[in-house]
Each structure stands twice: as structure tokens, then as C-alpha cells.
Amino acid sequence: MGNIVKNAAKPDHITSCQTGSESEFLAVLCDYPSPDLSEPIFHFGEKLRVISDEGGWWRAISLKTGRENYIPGKCVAKVYHGWLFEGIGREKSEELLQLPETKMGSFMVRQSETKQGSYSLSVRHRQVKHYRIFRLPNNWYYISPRLTFQCLEHLVNYYSENADGLCCALSTPCLTYQSVNHADVLRSHEQPVVRMRRPFNWKSIKRNTLTMENPDNDTDMDDSFLSFGLRESIASYISLAGDDSFTLPSGNGKKTKRNSKEVAGVNRNYMASLRESYLEDYPQ
């Protein structure tokens, strides 16, 4: 895997080592929105799966909670291959590697803050250690000058098997503990089943359905096509108008008179007192 610098010939074509898109995600660098403003939707250290790039904002879904929302680009770091972090500094890398779920030997490769074009390897041990990754003119990489690597993936693979001067061998990429099946997250947040009623048809409604005072069971109450408030409003109008009869369409198309005290299950004595109260407040 390693190559001696003085014996390394420059390759004719440099091929970048790529991995599947499943290892690409966003790492949240701060609670968003700020707890000072409202309850955060995304929390520090969460992994987000990108849905779309909205130009300075990301529309993403959390792999931990399944919540979907927008988040500004300055609040996240883009992660490639599961371990190559873009847009994160030394301080934030230490905070991520010191999260409670992070194991000994967890690591990340990030762009160097002090030298453009170079990278740094951050590893969790007793404390977080940082190692500069240098790049040669032929675009090969090294930490120790005696070993060079054609791409960063080769470097990571080698130090995952051998400490070779590092504080410890690399174990797992940072935030690996949040790796979950995206399909399972979506499946756990399926839309609830919606119960739909059949189309309402006045001609097919029986009169007792509209005027029932004491339904036989809860099912009758649930299937009532007029709410309790609407039935009381109808009875109130009839009582205040001074009409002692009410006409409802019967099943055979004929009209039948019905006493207003039976309408909508409202007691006539109650409606009389309601009418008196109304007349006192609004004298004619």
C-alpha cells in the first residue's frame, strides 16, 4: 500500500478513489434553529440526507429522527466517502469526535485551515490528535515522508490496519453510529390512514337521524350528519322565531309537521328560557 518517495514514479493518469453516494451526507455543526429562537429541528452532530440544494440552503432529512426541513449551508459540513469532511475547522472536528457515542480510533479527514490544498487527519484517542496530510507535486499524499499514497482512500485504508506512528489505528469514521437505513426512516413516518365518508345525499337521510335526542349507541352519534352545535342552532332559530312546528322531508317525499321541542333533541323548556333571555337583552 505504501510507496517509498524516491522510488515512486509519477503515474500517467491519476484516478480519484470514489465510493457510493450512500456515504455522502451533511453533518450538522450547530443546533438549528438556535435554541434561543425556538425548539431546534436539527441538533449538533446529526447526519442529514440531502434532498435538494436550494442555493445556500439545503433541504434535507435527518437519519436519526426522520424530520425533514431546510437548513442553511453555514450550519452543516458536506461529507464524502463517510469520512472526508468539507467546510469544518479544527474546533468543530474536536467537538464531533468527542460526542458520547464516538469510539476510540474514530476519525475524519478534513481540509486544512492553515494550508490551502492540504488535508488534516483528526483521530480520537485519549484526546483528539491532528496530523497534517501533505500533497506532493504529483498529487500523491503522505503523513510520514517515507510512505506516499495515490489517493486519500489508500491512506485511510493503510492506517486503518497499521498505526505506524499515529496515536492508534483508525477504527470507524466519525458519526458512523448514526448510519441507518434511509428507507426504514421514511417507512416509519408514513402518512396515517384517512377515513373518508361517502358523498352526502339529503334524499337518502332519514328524518330521525337529524332529530335524534338520545342516540342508541356511540355509532349513531358518530354517523350523525349534523353536529350537536348545528342541531342546537336550528332549534334556537325555530324557538326564537316563535314557530311551534317544523317541517322535515320524509322518506316518501311527503312533508310532516313535528313539534319544535323534539327537533335536534333540545328540551322546549330550555329553549323557552333562552328566548326570554334573548328578549331581555334585545327588547323589541
Instruction: For residue range 4-29, list pLDDT tens digits in order.
Output: 333 333 333 333 343 445 679 999 99
At residue 78 the predicted structure's pLDDT band, cuts being 50, 70 and 90, is very high
- Nearest alpha-carbon partner for 81 in 129, 152, 180: 152
pLDDT the model gives residue 228? 66
pTM, whole model, 2 decimals? 0.57
More confident residue, 195 or 126: 126
At residue 73 the predicted structure's pLDDT band, cuts being 50, 70 and 90, is very high
Co-location of 52 and 182 in the same domain: yes
> d(Cα 284, Cα 265) in Å, to the nearest integer?
29
More confident residue, 176 or 210: 176
**Do residues 202 and 256 touch, judged by C-beta distance below 8 A?**
no
pLDDT over 70 for what percent of the chain? Answer: 56
Residue ending a domain, choose from 157, 186, 215 = 186
Counting Cβ atoms within 10 Å, is residue 46 exposed (0-12), middle (13-18) or buried (19+)?
buried
**Do residues 219 and 211 touch, judged by C-beta distance below 8 A?**
no
Lowest mean pLDDT among 49-53, 63-67, 210-214, 259-263: 259-263
pLDDT the model gives residue 212? 55
Residue ending a domain, choose from 186, 219, 240 = 186
Strands 107-111 and 84-86: parallel
Counting Cβ atoms within 10 Å, is residue 157 exposed (0-12), middle (13-18) or buried (19+)?
middle
What are 91-143's pLDDT values in tens digits?
999 999 999 989 999 999 998 877 777 899 999 999 999 999 999 999 999 99
Co-location of 86 and 149 in the same domain: yes
Co-location of 130 and 21 in the same domain: yes
Three cell numbers written together for 223: 354517523
Mean of pLDDT values over 262-269: 49
pLDDT the model gives residue 210? 55
pLDDT the model gives residue 112? 83
Co-location of 232 and 182 in the same domain: no
Counting Cβ atoms within 10 Å, is residue 189 exposed (0-12), middle (13-18) or buried (19+)?
exposed
Co-location of 24 and 156 in the same domain: yes
197 located within any domain:
no
Q: Where in the sequence is the domain holding 220, given as residue range(s)?
A: 202-281
Co-location of 178 and 213 in the same domain: no
User: Measured at the alpha carbon of residue 264, what is the angle toward residues 261 and 269, in degrees to the nearest 5?
Assistant: 35
Cis peptide before 33 (omega within 30 of 0): yes
Co-location of 100 and 219 in the same domain: no
**Do residues 158 and 180 touch, judged by C-beta distance below 8 A?**
no
Q: How many domains does the chain have?
A: 2
Lowest mean pLDDT among 89-93, 143-147, 250-254: 250-254
Quote the mean pLDDT of the chain.
75
> d(Cα 83, Cα 26) in Å, to the nearest integer?
11
- 27's CB contacts (< 8 A; 6+ apart) are 45, 46, 47, 48, 76, 77, 79, 85, 88, 96, 174, 175
Residue ending a domain, choose from 186, 218, 243 = 186
pLDDT over 90 for what percent of the chain? Answer: 45
Co-location of 58 and 143 in the same domain: yes
